[in-house]
Amino acid sequence: MESKLDFIEYFMEKIEFPLKAQEVYTNLCRKIEHVAGHREKFKELAERFMSGETDGVYEELDTLAETMNVHSYTMSMMLLLWCGEELLAKYKEEEVSEKIYWDSMCDLNYKLLECYEVYGIWGTFVRTWYPGFYQMTRFALGRLQYEYTDFKLDEFEVAGNILKKGDKVINMHIPSSGSFSKDKRMDSYKRAFEFYKDDFGGKPIPMVCHSWLLYPEHRKFLPEHLNIRSFMEDFTYIEGETEDKFENDWRVFGKDCFKAPNELPQKTSLQKAYAEHLIAGGKTGSGYGMFFFDGEKILQP
C-alpha cells in the first residue's frame, strides 16, 4: 500500500466496517498523520504494541486521545487498525493462511458493533482482548476462535483420553458474529483439528471453554431450540460458578443492559428467557467444559 491511510481504508472495507465508522477512522488517520508529533507518538505506541508490550501503551494512548479530543474507545480501535498491516506481514512471514488472517481480523468489526450498540461510540471497550491476535497466539478458524492454554484440573479422563494439570489444550472463544449452529461449529472444530493436529501427533485434540454460554442452569430456563443449549451438549461439563451480577448482560441486551430486569427488552427468545429469569431473581454465571475431537467427531465419555 502507498500509505497507512490506503491500507486502513482497504482493511476496513475488507472486514466490513459500517460506512459511518469508516468515515470516522479515515478522518482520524488523517488527523494523526497531519501532525508530526501525533504521528510519531502513534507510530511508537504501535511498535510497542506489536512487540508484545502493553504496560503503559494503553495509558499513553489515552493521553494522546485526550490531547486530540478523541474517545478512548475510538483511539483504541485506531491502534488495532494501524497495526493491521504489520500483522498481515507477520502472517506471510509465518506462512499462515491469509484467509485465517482476515477471519481473525473480522473480530474488530464484531467488537466495533458491540461498542456502538452498548455505548453509541465507534471503537472498542475490550482492547485488552487483542494482544493474542496481534502476537499470533489466537486465531479464528471458521466460526470460532482458538488459542493454547494449560489444563487447570489435576486429572480428567474422557473416552480413554487423559488430561493432567498443565497439559496443553486448545481454549475456545465464541465471537458475537451471528448463528453458531451445529454445522458451523463442526466445521470450525474440523478446521481447528487440521490447524493444530501436528502439535498433538495426530491424536484427538483436547478443547476447553470457559464461558457464560456454558452456565449449567441454562438447561433450566433457556428454550431447547436455542443454539446455546446445543453448544452445551458438545462438552463434558467440569465445573461452574454463579455470580452476584450478570456480567455478560450486554451480550444479551445490548444498550438496554443497564435497565432494571422488568424493563429489559424481550424481542428474542434469549432475551425473553433471561429477562424472565432475572425478574424471578434467578442467578447467572459461567461454566467450564471440555471435549476431545478426532477430526471428524466429538468423543463422548
For the segment 249-261, the average pLDDT, to the nearest whole number, is 94
What number does CATH give the domain 140-299? Answer: 3.40.630.120
Give tens-digit pLDDT for 219-230: 999 999 999 999
Share of the chain above pLDDT 90, in %: 89
pLDDT, residue 1, reads: 56
- How far apart, in whole angstroms, are the C-alpha atoms of residue 65 and residue 155? 48
Give tens-digit pLDDT for 63-88: 999 999 999 999 999 999 999 999 99
What are the C-alpha distances in Å from 67 to residues 38, 82, 167?
9, 19, 46
Domain boundaries, the chain: 4-134, 140-299
- How far apart, in whole angstroms, are the C-alpha atoms of residue 143 and residue 185? 7
pLDDT, residue 167, reads: 93
pTM equals: 0.93
DSSP at 274? H
Give 179's pLDDT tier (boundaries 50, 70, 90).
confident
